[in-house]
Amino acid sequence: MLLTRRMDFSASYRDASGATTGHNYELEVTISGRIDPETGMVVDLKELKELMEREIEARFDHRSLSEDTPYFRDRAPTPETFAELIFSLLDAALPKGSLHRIRLSPTRELTVEVTR
């Protein structure tokens, strides 16, 4: 069973030319697992929402990825590297092997997907 939860957040970064670029990101987090016979759920949706808020929103929402976070001091904050980072943060915070995929969309025309 796959379950996907979405969230939106805003962040900016300084591009290679030095210009600041802001995006309203859409993040989809897909969890895989079996339905718990006691709860009838793959994952507690409230707990997943709180985890996403803590691991992603609290770190990146309304922040400059280049200047306000330590993650992009030595690498470019491209959609690809940002998606890899988000996957690794969530993978470390979720039960082992439960993170199936993340999809990060900085614009309606672009989506980056990282899968297990």
Does position 51 have pLDDT exceeding 90, yes or no? Answer: yes
Tally of domains in the chain: 1
Range 24-45 average pLDDT: 95
SS3 5: strand
Its domain, for residue 66, covers 2-115
Query: What is the reported pLDDT for 100?
Result: 98
Strands (E), 1-116: 2-14, 20-32, 63-64, 99-107, 110-115
Q: pLDDT (tens digit, 9 = 90+) per residue, 84-106? A: 999 999 999 999 999 999 999 99
Q: pLDDT (tens digit, 9 = 90+) per residue, 53-87? A: 999 999 999 999 999 999 998 888 999 999 999 99
DSSP 105: E
Mean pLDDT of the chain: 94
CATH code: domain of residue 110: 3.30.479.10
